Each structure stands twice: as structure tokens, then as C-alpha cells.
Amino acid sequence: MAKPARLDKFAVAAALQEIAALLELKGGKDRFKARAYQTGARVIAGLSEDIGEVVLGNRLTSMRGIGDALASQIEQLYLTGESSVLRGLKKEFPAGIIELSAVPGLSVSKIKSLHEALGITSIAELKAAAEAGKIKSLKGFGAKTEATLLETISNHRQRGKQDERLHLHRALQTATQVADYLQTARDIREISFAGSLRRWKETVGTIRLVANTKQPSALIEHFRRFPLIVEFIEQMEEACTVRLADGARVSVVAARPPEFALALLTETGSKAHVNKLQQIANGEGPKSNAKQATKKRARRRVRSGLLKEEDIYAQLGMEYVPPELREDEGEIEAALAGKLPEDLVTLADIRGMVHCHTTYSDGKHSVAEMVAAAEAMGMEYVTITDHSPTAFYAGGVTLDRLKRQWAEIDEVQEQVKIKILKGTESDIVADGRLDYPDKILEQFDVIVASIHSRYKMDSAKMTKRIVTAMRQPVFKIWGHALGRKLLSRPPFDCDVEQILDVIAESRAAIEVNGDPNRLDMEPRWVREARKRKIKFVISVDAHSTGALNNLKYGVAMARRGWLRKSEVLNTLGAKAFQKAVKPA
């Protein structure tokens, strides 16, 4: 007998997702099991090494979130293509149950009757049956139910299109999985992220990718077989939008090599930016410094296929606009005038890792571990900034423990080349003071000053609190400035412009926080601050060594705020940085 083909990690993950969804439908105690399978699916889909090596090396249970029961199902799936748990669950439910259960008001028992009477296994079939009037004659349904069902289905679809945005790092993770999968297609030349993900917006609605291939329809066909797809939202010959099992919406556009650059530009957006480019190509809109003749040529050439985005901008008589700037907020006019900043800060410019927590407060790793990780990333210095005592819930560092940390830092310093700066993330307490006595504050190498409590003050009080903090005589970096948590907590209510005016004449700088749950302060305020010549640091706010990778998000946010290298303090060398942020 022929050996069954072994499943790849995505097929295994898809099966685990299916088990989770079915357990969720059973409800009750099975909900807990469902969560375990969901975690398992995420872990397996995100594997960076070959799933075969993990399974055959008996290493599944050594991975976080995978217990014995889960491991045995993963092994079964990998080796045989089947899972006993999934087989058992499938016997309990009709086909299409997962998709149909997403329709509000449609219970499992109703889905069962629809299946038995009409053989319905999908929302599309349900819609067709309702439109043909076949449902009202079923026992327990009636004309009213049929009408309600039709309405719910169309509402549900619409909501599905607008709903949920993803945090940037989640979108990036999923996009990488899809791109990895698409790389396995035949004749693929290049895959690029597009849309708000490529523009590094804080949250992403639809994850967009553009593929460069001589065979667009074959590429889309390949994408349609991506195992984590649960719903097709829009399908065309050379483009396809789907929903994945974890709820993410993904759109792939396939373009032939001559059309790739234009497709990438269009898919990247923003809409406002692309529309204005279109106007310029049509000879309308803002004028270029380049001659009219160039523009005529541009109109012809844009259609006939330029190979790079850079060429398209050049043919329109303008400078290349980096994706982070494509919002129609002045970048087009600047590019036409040849005045886009040449020295926008880049990841390579950053020489020091700012705002790191350790096990002294709520970090996962020790001083030595954080320092070693920062050094391995090529940094010249790292600031250790654990919480201050008022942040007791985060294990804020009391004075005696602070002395111990300083001694430990001195010891670690002897072992490494990277310069370690002794810092604090000091709470800005309710009346605007910082959290250690002045005598202690003056001894730090660097102070990040942040608000962690009493968020709901009225605007006047909050403004006064922050202004008072910024006017403290020690130099401080305003940490995660407006306190927002993306998709869950809005920024504080306060008079930002007034605060920026005060910072401009105080001993203070502002942080661009790279934690993908914060990404604070936001680009429009960064631009306001730039006008006042305020300096910035780009920080990671890392609570683990892995979170040092937040740096790329911080840099992207800074670029969206048009920050130049010279405006970012941690592009300085260790000595100059230390001098610039010295509290006293």
C-alpha cells in the first residue's frame, strides 16, 4: 500500500483549527479544550523549522502550549493525514457546520434540519435556498424566519467586510505565513506586502499581498488552496480575498512582471495618495518642476509597464515616496518639488536600545540576558529602565532593590562591550511629580517618565499633570506619551499642543514607543512636535529579549511622523547619547 502523503504545517494547523471550531460549537467544558487546539494551531503554523523534524524528533511537547493529547493529534495528522478527534467530531455534525454557525440566530439544531431537508452545507447554499423560497416550507422555519435569515446573511456579510482590525505585529505574522506559502507556487518571481501593512499603519483591516508572476491565474489557484482559508469573500481571475480561520482577511493580487510595479503601487495606497498620482499622470493636480514633456511620456509609460515603483515616480517627474509617507499629507507636493527628506530615520541608524525592563520589575529576562540580546543585535548601548515604586503592580523597584540593581549592572558591564545605562521608567504621579526623590533621580543615566495610573482625569487636570512633569528640572523622556492601547484604550484627554509648547522649552524629549500594542505617540503629533524642534528617542519598551524586535515598529512610526535621523537621540553614539539624556 502506498504511504499517505505527509501533511505540511499549514494543513496540520488547519485541521487543529477545525477541531477547535467544532469543540467550540459543542460548548460547555469543551470550550477549554477548544482554546488549547487554537493555541496549538497558532504554534504549528508559526513553526520556523520543519514540522517533520519536530514530530519525528519527539519535540512537540517541549513547545509552549502543546501537551500530550494535542501532540498525539499533531503526530497523527502529520503521519497519516487524519486525526481521531477530528473524525469523531465530524460524525457529530453535518458538513459546513462551522461556516453556517457564523450566521447569527442559526442554532446547531436548525443547521441540522436544513442539512437533512435541503442538503445545505454553506452560507451561499443557504442564501440560494432562501431566495428560492425553499426554507419557509420547512417545519419550524416559516416565511418570517426565511426573510429574517436573508436579511441576517446580507448584514453579516457586510459586517464581515468592515469588522475587526488586527494589530500590526499580528498582521505581519499572518502575512509572512501567507507569503511563505505563496513562495511555494510555480513561476513566482517576487511577493510583496502592500496596503496598510506596507505603510506600517498601527492596525490592519485587510492584509494585502501582491505577487509578481508570469502565470497570475495559477498563482491565485495556488492561494485558494491555502489550508487556513475558511471563507472566500471575493474571487476574480487574478485576485482573491479570503478570510482565514483566525478571522484575518487576506487579499492577494497576482500581476505579470510588466504590471507588477503599478499593481504594487495601487495596492499599497493610500487611496488618497494613489488618486493624486493618477491626477498628475492625467496632467491635472499639482504641478511638477519637471517639464511638460516628461509628463506626457509618463502617461504613456505608466501604462506600458515600468519594472519598479521608483521608475513610476520618476516618470511622473517626482522623487520616490517611501510607503510610510503615502497618505497625501504633503508628501506628493514635496516629492514634486524634490524636497522629500533624504535623511528619514532608518532601522540601521539606531545605535542604542532604549526602554528595557528586566526581572527587577515586570520583565521576563535578567539584566544580563537583556544586555546580551541587545549586544547581539549590534547595539552600542542599552538603557535598563525598570518601573518605579508607585507601579507596585508591576513590581516597581524600591530604593534598596535599586541599589542592588546598580551593583548587578556594574558586574554585568565588566563582561560586555555594550554600554549599559542605569535608568528608570519613573511614574508621573497624579500631581505631576516623578517617583523617586530628586537626589536619586539625579543619579540615573536616563529617565523615562510615563503615566501608568489615573488615566481618566479631565483634560485640564491631565494637561497640568504632564506639564508639571515635563517642567521638572531633570532631563526626562516622555514615555508612551498619550497612554493609548491600540484597539482597547483611547489616548488621554489633554491639550497636546500646550504640552508640546512646554516640552519645547523644557529639559525633555519624547518617546516613539515601539510596543505594537501602543505605538505612541502617533505620527500627526510627532509632526506637530517636529515643528517645535523637540527631540525624540525611538524605544522598544521591551519586557523580554524577543520584544527588542519592537524596534522596527518604532522606526516605522517615526518615519510616518517624518522624523529625520538628526532628530532622534538614539542615533547618536554612546557618549553623545549619554550626554544628551543626562538627567542632571
**Candidates 34-42, 166-174, 446-454, 460-468 — which segment interacts with Zn ion by CB under 5 A?**
446-454
**Candidates 302-310, 485-493, 539-547, 566-574 — which segment interacts with Zn ion by CB under 5 A?**
539-547
Q: Is 361 in the site for Zn ion (CB under 5 A)?
A: no
Contact 78, 51 (CB under 8 A): yes
CA distance 225 to 238: 15
How near is the Cβ of 55 to Zn ion at its closest, in Å? 39
**Candidates 230-238, 256-264, 293-301, 424-432 — which segment interacts with Zn ion by CB under 5 A?**
424-432
Contact 189, 213 (CB under 8 A): yes
Contact 474, 448 (CB under 8 A): no
CA distance 30 to 40: 15
472 versus 517: smaller Cβ distance to Zn ion: 517
**Candidates 210-218, 442-450, 500-508, 525-533 — which segment interacts with Zn ion by CB under 5 A?**
442-450
18 versus 541: smaller Cβ distance to Zn ion: 541
How near is the Cβ of 582 to Zn ion at its closest, in Å? 20
Contact 327, 318 (CB under 8 A): no
12 versus 508: smaller Cβ distance to Zn ion: 508
CA distance 361 to 476: 20
Q: Within a 10 A sphere around the Cβ of 88, how many other Cβ atoms?
A: 11
# chain residues binding Zn ion, by CB under 5 A:
3
Contact 532, 567 (CB under 8 A): no
**Candidates 84-92, 342-350, 469-477, 540-548 — which segment interacts with Zn ion by CB under 5 A?**
540-548
442 — phi, psi (to 5°)? -65, -20
**Candidates 40-48, 151-159, 279-287, 443-451 — which segment interacts with Zn ion by CB under 5 A?**
443-451
101 — phi, psi (to 5°)? -70, -15
146 versus 425: smaller Cβ distance to Zn ion: 425
206 versus 450: smaller Cβ distance to Zn ion: 450
* Residues in Cβ contact with 419 at an 8 Å cutoff, skipping those fewer than 6 apart: 380, 381, 382, 413, 574, 578
Residue with grid cell 509552549, as numbered in its chain: 64
113 versus 544: smaller Cβ distance to Zn ion: 544
How near is the Cβ of 513 to Zn ion at its closest, in Å? 8
How near is the Cβ of 507 to Zn ion at its closest, in Å? 20
Contact 108, 44 (CB under 8 A): no
196 versus 361: smaller Cβ distance to Zn ion: 361
CA distance 140 to 510: 63
Contacts of Zn ion in 313-342 (CB under 5 A): none
Q: Is 165 left (phi over 0), alpha (psi -120 to 50) or beta?
A: beta
317 versus 396: smaller Cβ distance to Zn ion: 396
Please identify which residue in 40, 541, 551, 570 interacts with Zn ion, judged by CB under 5 A.
541
How near is the Cβ of 574 to Zn ion at its closest, in Å? 21
Please identify which residue in 241, 315, 358, 450 interacts with Zn ion, judged by CB under 5 A.
450
Contacting residues toward Zn ion, per CB under 5 A: 425, 450, 541
